[in-house]
Amino acid sequence: MWLKISSSSGPKLVWKTNRTGTVFALLQSPTSGCNLSSLDIKGCSRIPAETLVDLVKALPSLARLNLSDTQCDAPVLAAVASHCQQLLELDVVDCRRLSPECLLHLAYDPATGSLRCPTLKVLRARYLMRKPLPHCMLRHLVFLLLALRGLTVLDHAFVPEAVCVIHRRQFDDAPVAPEFPSLEQLARRRMSAHSSHRITLALTELDKVLLSCLPGVFAVCPHLADVTLILEGSPGFGQDFAPWRHISCLTLQCGDDSSWDVENLLPMAAALGAQLHSLTLSNIFCDDASSFWTLLGHCLNLRKFWVEFLTSEECESDEEEAVEALEGNFSPTPHQFPHLWNLSLMYTDTGYTIPSQNKAVLTACLVSLLKHSPRLERLFLSCLPFSLDRVFEKLLELPGAALTRLQKLSLTEARVSGSTIHLLLSSENQLSVIDLSACSRIFRADYDDFLRRARSEGLELDILWE
């Protein structure tokens, strides 16, 4: 098992141990003990729950506690709530002895009728002991959201539904569990404390929110900054983006029953692009590749960009000459991406074939994007329906012209040849990993040649291939 501890007076310590007694031996050392601010015992499943109770009682200064995949149970959570008054973050993911009902002990003390954990901001609680009926699970999560007033992150799959319950005020007078108040009582208590008839939450992150539910979600969670939206039905956002004003990290995932194209995202990009630091597009079509470049032109402050386009390439017919001939028909307006450090672009086969014109436009866009991203450190290009040889040739025409900070490069299932990899090895960059898995144009002889060159030139580089 691994034990990670840190305190405000010293650096984080990492310790590997198979003895639970070692935990207490470490905590008695001068570098830790009662001033410990962070404890990570993820996966320490041999520590009994009774020992965990004693452990958290001895650590009143904890701000961060990771109990994921341990024997944590309801008494442990009650001890955490009673003794760790400065706790900011708690992780109980994969705690199979915890039921969702046990989480209530974090938020409320049945013995005194008082709320607990007023400082708790982050609670991660996926994959617990059992899956209750959705109605019961929702009531437990609503209870937590109402009682833990400082929560900015509640990591559980049903949280969006719980937020919608609060928006609709679907509370009842039945106790949420024995010795616990009802949701109606808790809601009245919260509104009374704030002298308000409206309940708002401090949540800043939400995962997998249906687009149709977004207005209600924003009404309850006005401070959302990191959101994953499931795009449904006919494409269209509406035009009121004022409630989105705090969003800096946005994931758009197309639902199974809908078909969204990049062009449908342009109104959103025009309104929000400048404030976005992270943008993820999943299962999106791109019928007109110039729309892709228009979208990026609105998002110049991105630090991370991840996109999965839906498409198909029925066979790997060599169309490079046709694509090359068409490239001159589209010259993308140069956009500068001064903060972009992580870029992923991939395609998924759906039976839809990309015209050569679109491939030429995408090739030109990719060259321009990479050329004008001076801080790029991680690049992932997978299953692209055109050759990457010309992309890298254009990028690396001049020494030090592009990709000088690149550290990790993944070209899985890409159309790339050995000569391009040699070009990368000769260029100025900081590469430590190149992943060439399933590249049909890279052969065993090429791979062996890459390894020999890396050894002879003293390159600290891992090259993956299969």
Q: For the chain, what are the domain ranges?
A: 2-193, 225-375, 387-466
Give pLDDT, residue 23. 56
Contact 76, 56 (CB under 8 A): yes
Q: How far apart are CA 56 and CA 376, in angstroms?
A: 42
Give pLDDT, residue 314. 46
pLDDT mean for each 10 residues of the chain (466 residues): 52 47 52 75 93 93 96 95 96 92 93 94 88 75 96 95 95 91 94 83 96 94 97 87 96 89 95 97 91 96 96 51 58 92 88 76 93 97 92 83 94 95 94 96 96 95 94
Give pLDDT, residue 451. 96
Q: Evaluate whether the domain defined by 2-193 bears CATH number 3.80.10.10.
A: yes
Q: What is the pTM of this model?
A: 0.89
Give pLDDT, residue 317. 47
